[in-house]
Amino acid sequence: MAREISLGVNPRKMIPYNVLIADDSLTERKLLQQFLKSADFQIVSEAANGEETISKLIAFQGQVDILCLDYRLPDMNGSDVIQRLRPLFPKLIIILITSHTEKEIVEEAVRLKVNAFLVKPISKSSIYDKLTFLLGRRDLAAKMVVGYKSTGINLNEIQIPPLRDVMNRVITFDSTKSGGSNELESIIAPDKALSADILRIANSSFYGRSGGINTLKSAITLIGLATIKNIVILQFRKNFTKSLPQALFRKHLNEIPLLTGLIAIDLTAPLNLKNLNDQIVISSTLRKVGMTILAQNLKIRYLDIIKLFEYGSKSLVQLEKEEFNIDHIQIGAKVFKVWQMPKSLQKVAANQGFTLSEIETVSDIDRLLRIAEIFALIMLGVTLTSEETEMLPRLLNFYKAPEELTKLFNEEYYSNIKSHPFFDSI
């Protein structure tokens, strides 16, 4: 039996990866060093400030593979260090270590092409998870997931929370009919928390009316009926997943569906699908409801399934079926029936896992959301399966999309889109 290659050893060269640790805290450096050495990484040096970090990396002349960099150093912050290092060492893997996750820090790090974040206090599993992904060690990824005995799930035993009346009425509300704004106001007004959220968004810098909107009626007039519906859906999603605060759940249950919707909206013009605009956010937000139900019922096991999915070895549906003998699409179908969702939404949820052979038979909304979702997965660092890799160009070719379209959805797009007020809902 072949001996397993440690995470800290480059499997192609069979030599350890060289790591430099930069942190002004001796305790933090020693702790990280201990974690990395136990996986056979080679700690070539340590640094206590930014200038020392830069000098040592230059002295090693590109021989350092990984930099673990604390964001707040005594002489400069992590962004300053990265700005000076990136042009010199474009292939250097940089893991930014921070005690804070302010929006500005995250956006700056994305722009500077940081490979990963670690939030203090650092754990052995968190650094191993990051490095397993960054180093492409799919062979270890499967073994990282806790080995449960595969057990089927009885669909009738799944706990499905009831749908709030305001949500049900908003979903079925027709924003095109006459007098719609007054009716929508009467639906939303009794929900004080939801009304406050809408007023906050209306007064955000995005709409340029800071502090000028004081009533729900004014907010609805400013934002528009279709967007108000979207906000209600997003706030429902936020409340629906609040019992799942783990970062990986927030990413897959909230951020990816939202990012998918916003990308899809931006795709409607180049793909000539503007007629779908009113359906996009509600469809992208709700079609993954089966994932949330699985996470709520089987939190630890499902967190491990999503972790394995991030490495691109198998599709999420495959992993779910192997573990539970059922998948989130099937669960979502039951949830939508219980909630008496419109047939159009039920169809979108059922078709989200369509295969390459079904591209021409599904609807435009199915294809549009699949394109947008693949772009979202790429932006958020999820490794695509082989089918998804092939799916994207096939779908774009279906719509005869211009070749330069794929270049638009990059780190800069992601950084800019995160200023959208909808992101306050995740």
Task: Decide if 212 is inside a domain.
Answer: no
Residue 344 φ then ψ, to 5°: -60, -40
Q: What is the CATH number of the domain that holds 50?
A: 3.40.50.2300
Tokens of 317: 């549906």
- Do 136 and 240 belong together in one domain? no
Q: List pLDDT tens digits, range 12-70.
A: 899 999 999 999 999 889 999 999 999 999 999 999 999 999 999 999 988 999 999 99
- Do 92 and 169 belong together in one domain? no
Task: Decide if 42 is inside a domain.
Answer: yes
* pLDDT confidence bin for 375, thresholds 50/70/90: very high
- Do 262 and 338 belong together in one domain? yes
Task: Decide if 188 is inside a domain.
Answer: no
Which residue from 294, 189, 286, 181 is spatially nearest to 236, judged by alpha carbons?
A: 286
Average pLDDT over residues 68-88: 91
What total number of domains does the chain contain? 2
Query: Given a cut of 50, is residue 293 above it in pLDDT?
Result: yes
Residue 234 contacts residue 260 (beta carbons within 8 Å)? no
- Do 127 and 171 belong together in one domain? no
Q: Residue 1's pLDDT is what?
A: 45
- Do 400 and 305 belong together in one domain? yes
Query: Given a cut of 80, is residue 146 above it in pLDDT?
Result: no
Task: Decide if 181 is inside a domain.
Answer: no
Task: Decide if 219 is inside a domain.
Answer: no
Q: List pLDDT tens digits, range 300-322.
A: 888 888 887 887 667 899 888 88
Give the residue numbers spanning the domain of 70.
Answer: 9-144
- Do 138 and 68 belong together in one domain? yes
Secondary structure percentages of the chain, helix, strand, coil, to 5 = 55, 10, 35
- Do 101 and 171 belong together in one domain? no
- Choose between 168 and 267: higher pLDDT: 267
- Do 170 and 136 belong together in one domain? no
- Do 245 and 113 belong together in one domain? no
Lowest model confidence (mean pLDDT) among 89-98, 148-157, 230-239:
148-157
Query: Given a cut of 90, is residue 223 above it in pLDDT?
Result: no
Task: Decide if 103 is inside a domain.
Answer: yes
Q: What is the pTM of this model?
A: 0.68
* pLDDT confidence bin for 141, thresholds 50/70/90: low
Q: List pLDDT tens digits, range 231-263.
A: 888 888 888 888 888 888 999 999 999 999 999
- Do 169 and 139 belong together in one domain? no
Per DSSP, what are the bridge partners of residue 97?
Answer: 70, 118
